[in-house]
Amino acid sequence: MSPAELVREGFVEMREHLGRTVLQTLGVILGVASVVATLGMTAGQEAARDAYFRSSGGTLLMGVYSQPPAETELTARQRAQTGLKLSDAAEIRRTIPGFDQVVAEISGPHQVRAGATEMTERITAIEPEFQQMRDLEIARGRFFTSYDMATRAPVIVLGSTRARELFGTANPVGKAVSVDNVRYTVIGVMREKVFKWRENSSYNAYEWMNRLMMVPITSYEQRHMKAGDDKIDELNLRLASAESHDEAKKALERLLRARHGVVDYGIWDRKERLDQGEREGRIYNLTFLACGVISLLVGGIVITNIMLASFTERMREVGVRKALGATGPQVFLQFLVESLVVTVLGGTVGLALGIGFTWGITKLLMVQMALTPAMVSAAVGAAGIVGLIFGLYPAVRASRLDPAVALRYE
């Protein structure tokens, strides 16, 4: 028999014994559905996380922030000298080539007034490279430049939300904003940034960017800090490449510890967070994949039992075929193809069920899902492997059957 005839024979056998076919495929259907649902949902979350990182500066960002030192036996003078400084940023730029951008940041609450609108909000003193580092786009006007830094220009750039709060629908560019009674001129308004982890959610993960009010750090130093005070709140860093991560981070910690003498800083690291998320995702995947594999194994055992029962029912048929000239390998292929047809059909149904289940969950929880050709191939391939492995024993039994014994079987 040709391969096409073997497959057709398998479908005929399935149609004639529909109830038995349903029992054979049930375990495979549930196993494949659980695998597809698990991979689809986790892949969707990974895609959302990657999109979030890409649109807010990429995965190579790192930051250092000031925090109280863990040491308790410090003098008041030592405590007053702790914390990040502008000179730290200059030294990192000079000695650690693993970072291609180093941006100092100072932020604090101030009294802000524009016309009749008055509020107490944070002002962020920053360097021009922050715009590129955080992938900020200008909607109106411009961002401040190195010339504004050098001249300590009293200019300010507003996030989209802050611009609406202070000026409504009017164009803020060129207008004045008072920060603790110091006049700043608005030179730019940022384009609104939106990222939602869930569809139809009111929470915007980028809203903190839309609420920024940014001034050149040199302007802030001159107008709002005491003479000689060079303390900063945070250092924003960007790695030159992913390969430089480990060495650059170690060099950063060595430099800060040597300069400060105590650990008066903390480090946040996007690449480390990404790696941790991938590790947690793998644990989640393996847990649910194990459940899917168990279902597939149970389905395989059921397939073996039912194929053996089918072989017992068809023993005389097999004996007649072998008596008429059918060889052992031909009978072996017939039973093995029947097993593969059943499991591949179950895998296809399980794939559709898994996609439907994932779609329903993502709509209910308003999260993303993702299905790739590799996931589809893996699901159907797993079903085929189950059919191949668990169909071997019944096929071998049938191929070795003695025709004389089979013809005497009642």
Position 63 in a domain: no
Q: What's the pLDDT tens digit per position in 130-170?
A: 999 988 999 999 999 999 999 999 999 999 999 999 999 89
Quick one: 81 and 186 in the same domain?
yes
Quick one: 390 and 327 in the same domain? yes
Q: Are residues 238 and 281 in the same domain?
A: no
| Cβ partners under 8 Å of residue 146, min gap 6 | 128
- Higher pLDDT: 79 or 261? It is 261
Q: Crossing angle of helices 18-54/373-399, nearest 10°?
A: 150
Among candidate residues 263, 295, 319, the one where a domain is terminated: 263
Task: Tell me: do 88 and 169 sit in the same domain.
Answer: yes
How confident is the model over 404-408, as a mean pLDDT?
65
Residues of the domain holding 48: 3-54+276-408
Q: Are residues 15 and 79 in the same domain?
A: no
Whether residue 335 lies inside any domain: the answer is yes
Same domain, 218 and 258: yes
Residue 181 lies in a domain: yes
In the chain, the number of structural domains is 2
**Token output for 290:** 């194990």
- Please tell me the distance from the alpha carbon of residue 268 to that of residue 193, in angstroms, as a whole number: 22
What is the pTM for the complete model shown? 0.69
Tokens matching residue 89: 């940023």
Q: In terms of domains, do 78 and 220 share one?
A: yes
Let me know if residue 62 belongs to a domain: no
Whether residue 211 sits in one domain with residue 334: no
Domain match, 178 and 244 both: yes
Alpha-carbon distance 91 to 219, whole Å?
Answer: 22
Last residue of one domain, picked from the residues 235, 263, 291:
263
Last residue of a domain, one of 237, 263, 289: 263
Domain co-membership, 76 together with 190: yes
Q: For residues 346 and 372, state if they share a domain.
A: yes
Task: Assess whether 9 and 82 both reside in one domain.
Answer: no
Rounded-to-10 torsion of CA 293, 298, 299, 305: 150
State pLDDT tens for residues 241-257.
888 999 999 999 999 98
Specify burial of residue 193 (Cβ count, 10 A radius: 0-12, 13-18, 19+). Answer: buried
Tens-digit pLDDT profile for residues 170-212? 999 999 999 999 999 999 999 999 888 776 777 888 899 999 9
